[in-house]
Structure 1
Amino acid sequence: MKKNEASSVTYRVLPSGRVQVRYRLPNGEQVTHGTYDDRSTAERHGREIQVDLAKGVKWDDRKARTPFSVFMRDIYMPFRETKVAASTYLNNRTHLSKLIDYFGQIPLGRIDVEAVDTWWASLPESVARRNTYMFLTRAMRYAVRWQYIQTNPCQVEDAGKNVAKPRPKFTVGDIYAVLDHADDRTRTAALVAFSGHLRIGEVCGLNRADYDAAKGHLRIERQAANAGPVGLTDTKTGNRRTIKLLAPGQAALDEWIAAHPMLPTAPLFVGTKGGRINRVHLRDGWDAAKLAAGFPEFHFHDLKRVGLTAVARTGANVRDVMFRGGHRSYTAALSYLDASEDRDDELAALTNARLGRR
């Protein structure tokens, strides 16, 4: 073993004749950098290491040799599970399986910007591609934070742009057309979702005590989990809110409670076996009704959009919409508001009326 003068880089000739390069970190730990076919190649890498050591920027690349699949499955995902809701974690596992199919056993340090750009370009434009990329970006951010890699290779331009196809626009009349074909439970739950702007999990998570019939107020502070047994978690955004139900939901809920007396702690909507209703049961009821009514594209979640659009058209500002919808950003709130030709005609008429008074 020969020591490079004035450095902590050493070279070791192996029985095979290849040359191993080693160096010491500032804490005294010895690290093997690599093994090369000849002395000149080894010394060239040794000089590069020495320069980095002198600058104090030498990177210990052992962790960067961790295969992508090992890092994701054994290190990142157990951490991720402690940070997100069960439904989000389930979606993350779906993203992970797609990424492992592509990156597999490639060491983290070899996944550079070009590799990520190539993966991105190999997939068709879709919401799924965007969401998988966002998941990868977050994971690589932690790989940097935990010093597995030096920089995040996820630098695709405009990767976060909205590529979802515009949703069909539905009206309050369309809602009632669907509900003409719905059972009582589905009808009531749908009118509550429309009138209180609830997600399907939030409807399933309601208890009797969440509704104040005297004031028409509904408290939304939990949702039924999207995965596994019917359990309760915080709402998707973590927000808790109490809002005044719109009249259709209030009337439907008053009628429902009168016909189904229950304790304050009891679920507001139950399944056929008496337990809390789950998302599948509620979605099945809605889907059967929408198909019968001839609205196959009308998702249960569109009820929230129709309700918030109706509220916004009263002149409510974005903060009002954010509060009623339980949103955490202006962007999220605006994404639920629809424009239409009939509304444009109405606005033009109102503006013309004001102009005519001058």
Structure 2
Amino acid sequence: MSNGKQSRRREFGTVRKLPSGRYQARYTGPDGMKRPAPDTFATKKEATEWLVEKQAEILRSDWIDPDAGSMTLTEYTDRWVKDRDLKPRTRVEYERVLRLHVKPQLGEQLLNEVTAPQIRAWRSERLAAGVGKPTVAKTYRILRAIFATALDDDLIRRNPCRIKGAGQDVADERPTATLEQVFAIAGAIQPRYRLLVLLATFAQLRFGELIALRRSSLDLDAMEVRVARSTNEMEDGTHYDDDPKSKAGKRLVSVPSALGADIRAHLDRFVSAGRDARLFLGPQGAIPRRRNFNRVWKAALESAGIPDEIGLHLHDLRHTGGTLSGRGGATLKELMARLGHSSPRAAMVYQHATKDRDQAIAAALDMLIEQARSTSGGQSGTDMTRGAL
């Protein structure tokens, strides 16, 4: 009370009636700027209720500057990729994925207006358009990371990427080659790439790791390959060497001694003198491009009688070697070290049970049972039945 008059509580914001008959709500934000509601209202009550909600946001510290996220998704994704500390190849891959699978569909949407239903519709449309599930999952993971950064920067209120399991990349089981097929391919491919096929299988190296190998990468006395770099190819065909895919990618891999003669023959015929000479170069002395090598690879498959429908890729030889190692009894930790995996999830695929391996386990148990019976005098089920009769 002051001077006998009742004090009036100061109201938050203002409401005014427009010539159209609708109502406009305005308020002063925490930044001191006067801000109107994004839409007008049919009644004064609706406008007032909107102001109450806006005031509650400010009191909860949930208020977001409505102008901060008023850029298009394309503008923000470009800025996001530019600000990331990415390897050149990863940066190019992110830009390619966003250009093909995000910008044409969502790029003109304002960042702060993209909704969860729109993300669900976008994902369904991409799958319906025939885009592979692994590609859609990868694109979704990138989008989710972009919106997570926008959320941290207080540009949006909530991440719209909330589809359970949408970022999980469950690829189809890749084919494996038999040992006969491996040697058939090695014999059919251009001689300069014979050793590449063998090392892809029996050292389980990736294409980039193979192309990066030098003379100094080989220790013929210990029969080891040192993987220290990976050669990456940009979209324009240029190459650069970088660290392997993960920290675990730097490793020493033992190779079968049976490959010693193949390695020495390759060094004598195809590799220049000097420790830094690359092991694998094309016919013109250039670093092999994936596209050119794929043509050589397909020609070798045809010559080796490997049907096209199998869909065997060079990378599947790494899978073949990992599977052979798993069947040979390699532990999960040993497989991770050999293949350069930093997490058990990727290496566990090579420990999957096979019918042959399962039958071998059963046969080994049979031997143990028979040994136990012969030493303890235990009866078999048949003997017990006969005794009962």
Do both proteins adopt the same fold according to a TM-score greater than 0.5, normalized to the shorter chain? yes
1:175-217 Cα distance to aligned partner (Å, 9 max, x none): 0122221121211111112121110111011111111122111
Alignment of 1:183-194 (within 5 A): 183-194=190-201
- 1:332 positional shift: 0.8
Contact map agreement 1:188 1:256 (CA 8 A) in 2 = yes
Question: Which residue of 296, 317, 322 maps to 1:303?
Answer: 317
Residue matched to 2:240 = 231
- Amino acid in the other structure paired with 1:94: R
Contact map agreement 1:144 1:151 (CA 8 A) in 2 = yes
Matched, 1:142 2:149: yes
Q: 1:303 to 1:144 in 2, by over 3 A?
A: same
- 1:342 positional shift: 2.6
- 1:136 positional shift: 1.4
Q: 1:252 to 1:167 in 2, by over 3 A?
A: same
Query: What's the Cα RMSD here?
Result: 2.6
Q: 1:261 to 1:67 in 2, by over 3 A?
A: closer
1:20-64 Cα distance to aligned partner (Å, 9 max, x none): 544334353444443525672443322221222233332222223
Write the distance in 2 (CA, Å) between the matches of 1:313 and 1:191: 18
**What SS class does the counterpart of residue 180 from structure 1 fall into?**
helix
Contact map agreement 2:138 2:169 (CA 8 A) in 1 = no
- Amino acid in the other structure paired with 2:48: E
Question: Which residue of 107, 116, 137 maps to 2:110?
Answer: 107
**What SS class does the counterpart of residue 327 from structure 1 fall into?**
coil
Contact map agreement 1:67 1:107 (CA 8 A) in 2 = yes
Structure 1: which 5+ runs fail to align? none
Write the distance in 1 (CA, Å) between the matches of 2:254 and 2:241: 23
- 1:218 positional shift: 0.9
**What SS class does the counterpart of residue 239 from structure 2 fall into?**
coil
Q: 1:30 to 1:280 in 2, by over 3 A?
A: same
Contact map agreement 1:222 1:235 (CA 8 A) in 2 = yes
Q: 1:62 to 1:33 in 2, by over 3 A?
A: farther
Q: 1:48 to 1:118 in 2, by over 3 A?
A: same
Write the distance in 1 (CA, Å) between the matches of 2:345 and 2:206: 17
- 1:284 positional shift: 2.9
Question: Which residue of 270, 281, 285 maps to 1:274?
Answer: 285
- Amino acid in the other structure paired with 1:324: R
Write the distance in 1 (CA, Å) between the matches of 2:169 and 2:9: 57
Contact map agreement 1:312 1:321 (CA 8 A) in 2 = yes
Write the distance in 1 (CA, Å) between the matches of 2:11 and 2:201: 71
Range 237-246 or range 339-348, more displaced: 339-348
- 1:304 positional shift: 0.8
Q: 1:346 to 1:231 in 2, by over 3 A?
A: same
TM-score scaled by length of structure 2: 0.81
Question: Which residue of 106, 116, 120 maps to 1:117?
Answer: 120
Contact map agreement 1:198 1:304 (CA 8 A) in 2 = yes
Contact map agreement 2:225 2:252 (CA 8 A) in 1 = yes
Write the distance in 2 (CA, Å) between the matches of 1:50 and 1:162: 43
Contact map agreement 2:185 2:300 (CA 8 A) in 1 = yes
Q: 1:180 to 1:190 in 2, by over 3 A?
A: same
1:236-264 Cα distance to aligned partner (Å, 9 max, x none): 22431112122354432222113334210
Write the distance in 2 (CA, Å) between the matches of 1:288 and 1:87: 28
Range 111-120 or range 273-282, more displaced: 273-282
TM-score scaled by length of structure 1: 0.88
Residue matched to 1:78 = 82
Write the distance in 1 (CA, Å) between the matches of 2:343 and 2:43: 59
Matched, 1:151 2:151: no
Aligned length: 352
- Amino acid in the other structure paired with 1:270: L
- Amino acid in the other structure paired with 2:246: T
Write the distance in 1 (CA, Å) between the matches of 2:38 and 2:169: 44
Identical columns (%): 26
Q: 1:351 to 1:267 in 2, by over 3 A?
A: same
Residue matched to 2:382 = none
Q: 1:285 to 1:51 in 2, by over 3 A?
A: same
